[in-house]
Amino acid sequence: MQIAFCIFKYFPFGGIQRDLMKLARESLARGHEVRVYVVHWNAPLPAETGEAIQVVKAPVSALANHRLYERFAAWVRDDLRRHPVDVVVGMNKMPGLDVYYAGDSCFEEKVSSQRGAVYRLLPRYRHFAAFERAVFDPSARTRILTISDQQVPQFRKHYGTPESRFYPLPPGIDPDRRAPDDVSEVRRAFRREFQLGDDERLLLFVGSGFRKKGLDRTLLAFRALPPELYSRTRLFVIGHDNAQPFRRLAKRLKVADRVRFFPGRDDIPRFLFSADGLVLPAYDENAGMIIIEAMIAGLPALVTGNCGYAQFLRDARAGIVSEAPFDQQQFNAQLIELLTSAERPRWRANGIRLADDPAIYQLASRAVDVIELAAAEP
């Protein structure tokens, strides 16, 4: 069959973008044709790398994102009338979807918990509220793929969406995140490359969307480390985002000489195998794939409980979950614990055991099952 995926922006290091490619490749492997509608594609085109994925860039523009996305949705609707497909899958919320991959959290929940009343008067609010309602309204027929347990209650609270329209997915972890047999050699070579001493601790923050994922909280906790521990700890920040506000914060906190920023990279496993701790103190994190990636790499983590995949860390006892409501002083103390606890070898072993669970690699397979169902039973 023919499947059309819709996504506003594609770049190779975003979580939703990576999941799009997993779904597209699984679809190709099952013999389906794949078309991807997009506004911005910031990567080599699949045709250039030998993949049979048709990328269609919508010829739309606007100064404001919400206007851009409105025009994109309208253009895609018209193009699909001229070039119909069997099923339309959205990686972002928009009208006209048969299946929605819920990689983003509930917009109305964020507005009610993080925004004032004036925000609801803005055109931006009206746009995103309308696009979300187009997917979740009880009268809609869109099937919804969810990636964390916390999603369904929030969407049902705001929209009353029938529970039968939600299809929970397992994680979709890349097997290359699993600690290899030669992990010690990888770690030694990495630490030589980045000039890390044998007694230095390396802390990782990984993820596109620095503010949302709590990089400010991380920098504050890093500055609060005891002097002796701080003097032998480095922080590496990796992600596709504007780093300048956080470089300035690092300078104000006088930690800039021990913090290094990297753009998005495709060799994240090396960092996971070679670091001493991962932090993810998110303000809002629907899933947090990096949590499970760190676990199966043998890297203890400190994450906030609002991350969708924090439950995996909690259940496995592979690190520390900082429960809500967030408290910076508590988080500061937990970061010290992450780096110094005698439990670290146990956390590492517990996380690595999760790698033997086949379910953590099955997101794409389960998702395409639902996509095929939507095509067969429109």
Concatenate the DSSP letters of all residues of 127-171 into one string: HHHHHHHHHHSTT---EEEESSTTHHHHHHHHH---GGGEEE---
Share of the chain above pLDDT 70, in %: 100
Which pLDDT tens digit goes with each residue over 271-284? 999 999 999 999 98
pLDDT band at 53 (very low <50, low <70, confident <90, very high): very high
pLDDT at 113: 86
Can you tell me the mean pLDDT for 177-198?
94
Residue whose pair of structure tokens reads 């006088």 in the numeric block = 254
- Three-state SS at 104: coil
pLDDT at 150 over 90: no
Backbone angles phi, psi at 9, to 5 degrees: -135, 135
Considering the segment(s) 175-358 as one domain, its CATH architecture is 3-Layer(aba) Sandwich (3.40)
pLDDT at 205: 98
Show Cβ contacts of residue 41 under 8 Å, excluding neighbours closer than 6 positions.
10, 55, 57
Spatial contact of 204 and 236, defined as CB atoms under 8 Å apart: yes
pLDDT at 311: 95
Domain residue spans in the chain?
2-170+362-376, 175-358
pLDDT at 135 over 90: yes
pLDDT at 27 over 90: yes
Instruction: Give me the amino acid identity at 359.
Output: A
pLDDT at 377 over 90: no
pLDDT at 63 over 90: yes
Of the candidates 43, 92, 38, which has an alpha carbon nearest to the alpha carbon of residue 60?
Answer: 38
pLDDT at 344: 98
Of the candidates 82, 81, 58, which has an alpha carbon nearest to the alpha carbon of residue 8?
Answer: 58
Of the candidates 298, 340, 342, 335, which has an alpha carbon nearest to the alpha carbon of residue 320?
Answer: 335
Which pLDDT tens digit goes with each residue over 285-301? 999 999 999 999 999 99
Which pLDDT tens digit goes with each residue over 335-370? 999 999 999 999 999 999 999 999 999 999 999 999
pLDDT at 102 over 90: yes
pLDDT at 255 over 90: yes
H helices, E strands: number in the chain: 15, 13
pLDDT at 378 over 80: no
pLDDT at 214 over 80: yes
pLDDT band at 114 (very low <50, low <70, confident <90, very high): confident
pTM beyond cutoff 0.85: yes
pLDDT at 55: 98
Rounded to 5°, angle at Cα 64 from 100 and 37: 35
2-170+362-376 is a CATH 3.30.1280.10 domain = no
- Three-state SS at 100: strand
Q: What value does the mean pLDDT of the chain take? A: 96
